Amino acid sequence: MAVSELIDIIEEKYSELIVKRALANSCVLSADTLAGFDPNYPEVLDRKNSPFIGNGITLVKYTGVRGKGGSNDANSEYLGKIRKIFNDNNVVWQMGELGKVDQGGGGTIAYILANYGMEVVDCGVPLLSVHAPYEIASKADIYMTYKGYNVFYKN
C-alpha cells in the first residue's frame, strides 16, 4: 500500500505495472531474530551451521518451514552484494541456518516479498530462547544489526 501511495504522488499516471516494477527492482533485508546456538539444548541446532550470540548480525540464505513450505532461498549474487556492503563498512556478520527440518520455527515473511520479485535475505540478531518469556541477546549483535541495516540503506 505504501509503495502504491508513493508512486501515486510521484508519477503523473498511476498504474499497477509501475508498482510491480518498483517492487521487482527492490532489495530487502527481511529483519527478524534468529535462533542462536544454545549449549543447554545442542540437539536443536547444528553447531557448525548455527549463529552464535556475540558473533555479529546473522544472514540466513534459506528460510522456510517443514522443508520447503513457505520458503525463500536468497540467490548467491544478492548474498555476495550484502556481504560486500557489510565487509566494506566493518559490520561483523555471520551465516546461520534455521535448524533441523520439523524442529519448529523458521517461518518468515521473506517468501512473500520474494513473490513480488524482490531480492530478499533474512537478516538479524541471533537470540537464545527465541519466543520464550525471557530471550537473551548480545549488545554487540544488536549494535552490528543496527549498523548493518544502516549501511544497507545508504548503499
Which domains, from first to last, does the chain contain? 27-154 (3.40.630.10)
Q: Model's pTM, two decimal places? A: 0.88
In the structure grid, which three cell numbers stand for residue 64, read together? 522456510
pLDDT tens column, 45-92: 888 889 999 999 999 987 766 656 667 788 999 999 999 999 999 999
What pLDDT is stored for residue 104 in this prediction? 58
- Write the secondary structure of 5-16 as one string of H (helix), E (strand) and C (coil): HHHHHHCCCCCH
pLDDT tens column, 93-103: 999 987 665 56
